[in-house]
Structure formats: C-alpha cells, structure tokens
Structure 1
Amino acid sequence: MSREGQRERKMAPRGLYSPLSVVPWAAALLLVLSVERALALPEICIQCPGSVQNLSEVALYCNQTPELMLHARCCLDWKGTILGLDLQNCSLKDPGPYFPQAHTAVIIDLQANSLQGDLTNTFRGFTQLQTLQTCREQRNLCNSTGDTEMCPENGSCAPDGPGLLQCVCAEGFHGYKCMRQGSFSLLMFFGILGSTTLSISTLLWGTQRRKAKAS
C-alpha cells in the first residue's frame, strides 16, 4: 500500500471522532432526552389542560430559581421532581387519583375549583408543602357547637356571609334576645315614631319662633 493510502486510512478515524462531528450527535441526544422527558411528565401535570399562568404563585415561585422549569401544570427541577402544582380553574370536585404524585411539592394552587368533602387526608405525606391556595364554599359556622350556643333559647343560628353568623328569632318571638313573644306590631312602631317626630318638630318650631320675635 502506498504512503498516501496509509495516510488516508490513518486520517479517517480522526475525522469520525473530531469535535465537529460530535456536536450533531450531542444535539440529537439532547433532543431525544428532552422529548422523552416531555412524554414522561407525571399524570398530575397534564390532568388539567393548559399551562401555568405567568402571574400565578406557582409560576412566580418557579421563575425565582433558574434550575426549575414550568411544564404543563407543574414546576419541576432537572430531575423531574414536582416542586409546584397549579390546578386553578380545572372544574375539580376532588384532587383526583394522581394527586399523590405531587407529594414533593412546596407550593400547590387549587383555587377556582368546587372541591367537596374533607381534604385533610388528601395531603397526607406532603411533608414539603409550605403554601396551599384553595377557594372552597363558605364554611357554615352554625355547624360548630360552640357557635350555636351564642344564640338565645328562642332563636336559631343562620349563616350571614363568610365567617359570619346571625341569630334568627323563632316564629312568634321578636325583640332583644328573642324574649318578646307575639308578632311585631308595625302599627304601634310607626305610631310611636310618628308622634315622637311630631313632638320634636313642634318643639323646635316653637323655639325658633320665640328667637325670631325676640330679635
């Protein structure tokens, strides 16, 4: 074999493993890994369609650390561990069977969902959770024994807004602490109010007239 042939044979392996030839292979490998990672998202991240809103607390938390990434409804680290979960406005009545996948989350947002039942056991094992945002139906304080004892004997507890209650007199009772029995007389009320107003008006008129004569 000639010297030129031997030289070409020796040069061939160097061209195959040159830095320029490695770059396309590395790019292709990264592309495959990124696709596999996207396809391997936990089910809880794609349980609800859409993505995390930019102004949500989960997005703000995720954007604070460069190593974290937003994918679908999750904030993940480079290992794929869920650190944030945003399921806002997903029409959920319960978190669903895949919710335990987010047990590593630091922040979870469940606002704008009609969640039902007691969620206490739902978060069992969520030892890293620091922020939980939920918006549920108004709590009826009248279901608490301590609050119902605030109402008088002839009254009953009724909700009066978020975190508020009122005591409603039973039928046939009215007045302070529902102690007066019988219907409330509107005729008597307006009669007393009218006579009082007339007396005060007459007194003021007479006083002002005297001052006018004196001047």
Structure 2
Amino acid sequence: MTPGVTASTVYLCTVFIVLFNVYVDSQDTDAQLCKMCEGTVPQDSPVWDFCLTKGHIRGRCCFGNETSNVDAIIGLDLANCSISHVEHLYNSSTAFIIDLSNNPISNLSDFIFQGFSHLTHLLLPSKLECPGGNASWEKVEVKNNARICKGQKNICNQSNQTSWDCPENSFCSPYGPGFFECSCLHHFHGYKCMRQGEFPIVKVLGILTGSTVVVSSLLWFTQRRKAKNI
C-alpha cells in the first residue's frame, strides 16, 4: 500500500469514526434520559395517554411511530422520580409533552426549554412557574399538586413583539416558551441575512473537496519523499 493511499484511508476512517461516535453519543444520551427513573411510563399518566395513539414507550420515553419520528422523543415522563435538580433534558427537544411533577425541584431555568418549540403540555411541581411565564401559555392551572402549562403560544404572534426583533430579510420563528429565533427569508443567507441568493453549497463543497485533495497530495508527496530517503 502506497503512503498516499494510506493517508487517504486514515482520513476517511477518521471522518467515519467521528460520525459514528456522534451517532452513538446521541443514542447513549437518549438511553440515559429514558432510564433516569426506574420502570416505565405509568399507565395512569398523561404521557401514557398521549403515547397510546401517537407512539411507543421505551423506559420513561415515548418515541414517535412515524418513520420520520421513529427515533424522536415525543413524550417524557419523569414524574415522582425524586429529581431535585435539572440542568438539561438531552435530546428531548422534539417532545410534545413532558411530566416533571411530584419531584423536589426547587428551581428550573427557562433556558432548559430553549428550542422546545413543539412542547404543548408541561407538568411541573406546583411551586414552580411555567417557563416563559404565564403569557407564554394558553392555559395555566394547578391540579393535584402539579402546575400544568398547556398550549405553548407563538411569541412571534404576540402584540408586544415588534418588527425590529429580527433583522431585515429575516422572519421570527418560535424557539421554545418565551424564546424565538430569526430565520433568513428565501434567497437570503449569511450574517444577519444580508447576502442575497441561494447558499453556495456546490461552491462550499468544491472548496472542501479541493482542500482535502491538496492536503492528501501534500501528505502523499511528503510520505513518498521520506520513503525514498529510507
């Protein structure tokens, strides 16, 4: 095997290993989240009722039945799990319903739910406030020692949001309770959506491919020279 082929093989193997590790890490975090509490989703819980027609249960998670959602967490039940502190919820930003009630949680940051734009039903210990405040939800009620936040509002549609929240050539998109993000309009991209036209994906891929070829060639010539000297 020539040094050039060896360098290219090592490069491709490295890329494959990195992508494989990212996939494995994603699966591990899902498994970790779904096993944060012993057992499975209780049959008398709101997550169980939600999952009956829309998904299937694994541990404390409900995964979607649709082909496009087969690996997406659409429901999460961590109720009555003796959880006192929550820093993040891993890969559950696709969830429609999350139950954290009946836990000794004393404080919960709104940023935990940043990106949870699909969340429509959230159950918390009664002493906690709904993320984003009551104004971020259609209905808030306290029932059976749980604060129930229902129907996440689209903050972009609220009257107190003005057009200057997002730069020109962009639009507002909901990004979780009380959060929004700015997305570029069609045919605009780049910093503050100031560049017009389609994103030059072919050009970018060409540059990346060219760079890879140049680096591989340099490695091949370098290794070949060393081989000749030996």
Q: TM-score, normalised by structure 1?
A: 0.42
Q: TM-score, normalised by structure 2?
A: 0.39
Look at both structures and tell me which one has the larger radius of gyration over its CA atoms: 1
Q: Which has the higher strand share?
A: 2
